[in-house]
Amino acid sequence: METKVFHISDPENQIEEIAAAAAIIAGGGLLAIPTETVYGLGANALDEDAVRRIFEAKGRPQDNPLIIHVPNDISWLERYCKDVPESAYRLAEKFWPGPLTMILRRKDIVPLRTTGGLDTVGIRCPDHAVTEAIIKKAGVPIAAPSANLSGRPSCTTAAHVLEDMEGKIAGIVDGGSCTVGVESTIIDLTVTPPHLLRPGGMPLEALEEVLGEIRVDKAVVSLLSEGEKPRAPGMKYRHYAPKAPVTVVTGKAENSAKLIAALLRKDMGVICFEEYLPLFEEVEVRSLGSKEDKLSQAQQVFDALRAFDETSVSAIFAQCPDDTGLGLAVGNRLKKAAGFQVIDADGLAEKEIFGITGLTGAGKTTLLKEIERVGGFVVDCDAFYYEELAAKGDLYRALKNAFPAAFSKDGALDRAVLGNMVFGNEKELSRLNDVIYAQLPKAILAKAAQRSETLIALDAINLFESGLAALCDRTIAVTAPEEVRLERIMARDGIDRERAQKRISAQKQETYYRLHCDAIIENVGSEQEFAALAAKLLSHEREEIRRRKTNG
Ligand code: TXA
Ligand code: MG
């Protein structure tokens, strides 16, 4: 099918174009329409066959209801909705036309196919003169989901729509870039208090002024567990997601920028506030607009997410505005794209993060115990790696992608096979490390951020190679004279001197740690003496961190 593009900027004078576009709707065809929020994929909402074609073109699940679009005339609302509460009239009075969808009870004239089988219907009056003229001319409400392929970021320009829909639909009305950029706010008025089902172009605060208390649906702020049903069926689907995994970093802009810079590797991408573009010049970067300008963030968020699909980045980090005003909607779209993988940079900035490393047999454990004794939390990074694999998240997917041969048919990693693939093969080993080091540090930080403890220790042999050191306030290495370590390893692991010696020679030497770490602690003397030394060093280093933090 050839997709006809209509350029309409002046609906009052381009009467023929409006009529031709409206004829597509009246004839049961699909027409992409501009609105102030995002482009919609429109059809006659009262025509079941036409509506079925919307689901087909988008690849949209049948149970995901469509919003119907009407002109700025309250009698249209009464035609399609029943038991309309007085609050709906107040909202329409104040906010029509605008980026607001109200969920109301459905009249029978609206087919169940349109509402995904629900007894309610989402209705909205878009703020776009061209689209309003088309609806009026067609004489029917237009059912329109966002015009993207299901799962992709919504379209904010006609070019985006062409990318996803060319050849599949009869026409596109090009009305320029969308002025709001995120979809409408959805408020369910069939319950008391009203529920916010999706934050969007109409700020929650504006609705609260009219409605009073509003309950925010759980699907807006978190990932639902399996079997949980959001009130807006569409909110349960993975959404807006570029191909690479996204991590959202919340918190003050300077904190999130710093954290992203520390986590970044060269093949990754960043979505940041305009002010921080220079910081990320070396990687693929897209602006989210100024940190002070949420409207510009809303206008750019989908564009930024979409743009990464033309790149080959392995992961994406995104800065995120706070939850007030349009920030709630922008943050929600980013977090959905991230599958709610979020790190709070402000919380982390308050913490004292230590990287602990050192020579085998030197007595790192004694220092870690001391950290726990004073109320700190220790992340055993090696053990965490295996936990992450078992959780089958980003790390698992990335490894499977890079080393498919190490995975059995049922998806389990065969550690021996992987070991053989990289053992003695420097190139493969470094490829493995690249994959692990790209995924692990952000997961470790996300875990640390969720902890209540202020003091956090990252226990890692490969503290520096992994990039974890960049996330630490201080790094400490534990060392001991070689003879002492030999004895310990022999006793601990029940091996002879020759094997213990071999193990030691295969590892880094003390000079390496002297060169890289902020502090070295040498384990000579008794365990008690070392514990006392560790306690002293720790309290000294913690003071140092606090001093630096208060001095900025
Ligand atoms: O700004 C917008 O709302 C855009 C433009 C084109 O108007 N449209 C849009 O539609 O975002 P769509 O289909 O991408 O998202 C509609 C959302 C889905 O999450 C759907 O589940 C929810 O609205 N929804 C629709 N009708 C509903 C109903 N009766 N009850 C609960 N949720 C409903
Ligand atoms: Mg959508």
The answer to whether the beta carbons of residues 119 and 66 sit under 8 Å apart is no
> Taking residues 57-66, what's their average pLDDT?
94
| Percent of residues in the chain assigned helix, strand, coil, to nearest 5 | 45, 15, 40
pLDDT over 80 at 167, yes or no: yes
pLDDT over 90 at 393, yes or no: no
> Taking residues 430-444, what's their average pLDDT?
94
Return the structure tokens found at 170: 């009869």
The answer to whether the beta carbons of residues 32 and 165 sit under 8 Å apart is yes
pLDDT of res. 361: 84
**Given the CA of residue 186, which atom of ligand 1 is nearest to it?**
23
Q: Output the CA torsion 379→381→382→386 (10° steps).
A: 90
> Taking residues 264-275, what's their average pLDDT?
96
Q: What count of other Cβ atoms lies within 10 Å of the Cβ of residue 30?
A: 27
Q: Which one of 101, 106, 115, 179 would you pick to mutate in the ligand 1 pocket, going by the greatest count of ligand atoms within 8 A of its CB?
A: 101
pLDDT of res. 224: 85
pLDDT bin (cut points 50, 70, 90) of residue 238 is: low
CA distances for 520 relative to 480, 486, 509, 530, angstroms: 10, 19, 13, 13
How far apart, in whole angstroms, are the C-alpha atoms of residue 79 and residue 236?
A: 30
Going from the Cα of 341 to the center of ligand 1, the distance in angstroms, rounded, reads 24
pLDDT of res. 74: 97
**Given the CA of residue 147, which atom of ligand 1 is nearest to it?**
6
Mean pLDDT of the chain, nearest integer: 95
Length of the chain: 552
Residues with CB under 5 A from ligand 2 (ion): 146
> Taking residues 403-419, what's their average pLDDT?
94
pLDDT, tens digit (0-9, with 9 covering 90-100), for 288-335: 999 999 999 999 999 999 999 889 998 999 999 999 999 999 999 999
CA atoms within 13 Å, Cβ hemisphere of 310: 9
> Taking residues 100-114, what's their average pLDDT?
98
How far apart, in whole angstroms, are the C-alpha atoms of residue 515 and residue 511?
A: 6
pLDDT bin (cut points 50, 70, 90) of residue 145 is: very high
Q: How far apart are the first and last CA of the chain?
A: 62
Q: Which residues line ligand 1 (CB under 6 A)?
A: 35, 37-38, 40, 64-67, 101, 103, 115, 118, 120-122, 126, 144-146, 183-184, 186, 197-198, 231-235
% of the chain beyond a pLDDT of 90: 88
Going from the Cα of 240 to the center of ligand 2, the distance in angstroms, rounded, reads 8
pLDDT of res. 460: 96
How far apart, in whole angstroms, are the C-alpha atoms of residue 188 and residue 103?
A: 5
Q: What count of other Cβ atoms lies within 10 Å of the Cβ of residue 533?
A: 18
- Identify the weakest region by mean pLDDT among 91-100, 234-243, 497-506: 234-243
pLDDT of res. 223: 86
Radius of gyration (C-alpha) of the chain in whole angstroms? 29
Going from the Cα of 67 to the center of ligand 1, the distance in angstroms, rounded, reads 5
pLDDT over 80 at 237, yes or no: no
Provide the CA 288 distance to its chain's centre, in angstroms. 14
- Identify the weakest region by mean pLDDT among 101-105, 160-164, 315-319, 361-365: 361-365
pLDDT of res. 380: 97
Task: Name the maximum alpha-carbon separation found in the chain.
Answer: 93
Atom 7 (ligand 1) nearest CA: 40
Sorted by sequence, the CB contacts under 8 Å of residue 356 that are 6+ apart come out as 364, 367, 368, 371, 378, 457, 458, 459, 460, 463, 475, 476, 477, 478
pLDDT of res. 235: 82
Report the predicted TM-score, pTM, of the whole model to 2 decimal places.
Answer: 0.92
pLDDT, tens digit (0-9, with 9 covering 90-100), for 245-260: 999 999 999 999 999 9
> Taking residues 208-232, what's their average pLDDT?
91
pLDDT, tens digit (0-9, with 9 covering 90-100), for 508-522: 888 999 999 999 999
